[in-house]
Amino acid sequence: RKEVEQDPGPFNVPEGATVAFNCTYSNSASQSFFWYRQDCRKEPKLLMSVYSSGNEDGRFTAQLNRASQYISLLIRDSKLSDSATYLCVVKFLSGTYKYIFGTGTRLKVLA
Amino acid sequence: DGGITQSPKYLFRKEGQNVTLSCEQNLNHDAMYWYRQDPGQGLRLIYYSQIVNDFQKGDIAEGYSVSREKKESFPLTVTSAQKNPTAFYLCASSIGQGVDGETQYFGPGTRLLVL
């Protein structure tokens, strides 16, 4: 089983739709969680950290479920500019801190 | 503007040649990282450095070398021993490795192609 797993997609959704992605992780000692956005042929950029209580930033909401070992990202009112690949990142301590990246979920928002 | 810069944007390597990728940051971050990204795969850690003059191997260090002589700079050398170097190379930095300094920020990347 991969340490971090994501559905690769693509998720094709119309503008204005609500879309949700999940990311599962295998290491129960994982401490920190992040969502990054990566545009084609560009570097990943931090979208948001994921806190135990859940957090929201405008149209984006992130949730953490430690019992089931997954994090989620909800995007409301999708815009064309949201089209990108969304990377899930999990950090845990194994001697030193390690960041494990998922392969990403591709989102296409259609006009 | 504070940030991370990588150069060159594209790099071509001939068989048997060593090439060096540059990474510079002016964020005053202690920790720096090198990742490799291949199509359909997540980022994989090559090397990381928590402090000047110290660095550690990541998951796929074979065929690569690094140095950390200055806080701002963390160059990566792809040696001739790396048999499949074609990839997108990403440099990142974070304030530190502790919980408070955990967010990683990425440079724009270097695409390495083998001729």
Judged by DSSP in three states, A82 sits in helix
| Chain A interface includes B9 (CB < 8 A) | no
Question: What is the residue-wise DSSP string for chain A?
Answer: --SEEE----EEEETT--EEEEEEE--TT--EEEEEEE-TTS-EEEEEEE-TT-EEETTEEEEEETTTTEEEEEE-S--GGG-EEEEEEEEEEESEEEEEE---EEEEEE-
Q: Are B37 and B45 in contact (CB under 8 A)?
A: no
For residue A37, the chain B residues in CB contact (below 8 A) are none
Residue that has been written with the tokens 């701002």 in this structure: B72
Residue A22 has pLDDT above 90, yes or no: yes
Least Cα distance to B32 among B46, B59, B50, B6 occurs for B50
Nearest to A4 among B42, B104, B109 (CB): B42
> In this predicted model, what pLDDT tens digit does every residue of B59-95 receive, in sequence order?
999 999 999 999 999 999 999 989 899 999 999 999 8
Nearest to A101 among B43, B107, B109 (CB): B43
Residue B100 has pLDDT above 90, yes or no: no
Residue of chain A whose Cα is closest to the Cα of B41: A103
- Minimum mean pLDDT range among A75-79, A80-84, B96-100, B107-111: B96-100
Nearest to A43 among B42, B99, B108 (CB): B108
Count other Cβ atoms within 10 Å, centred on residue B90.
25
For residue B102, the chain A residues in CB contact (below 8 A) are 32, 91, 97
Distance between B97 CA and the closest CA of chain A, angstroms: 7
Residue B99 has pLDDT above 70, yes or no: no
For residue B104, the chain A residues in CB contact (below 8 A) are 46, 89, 99
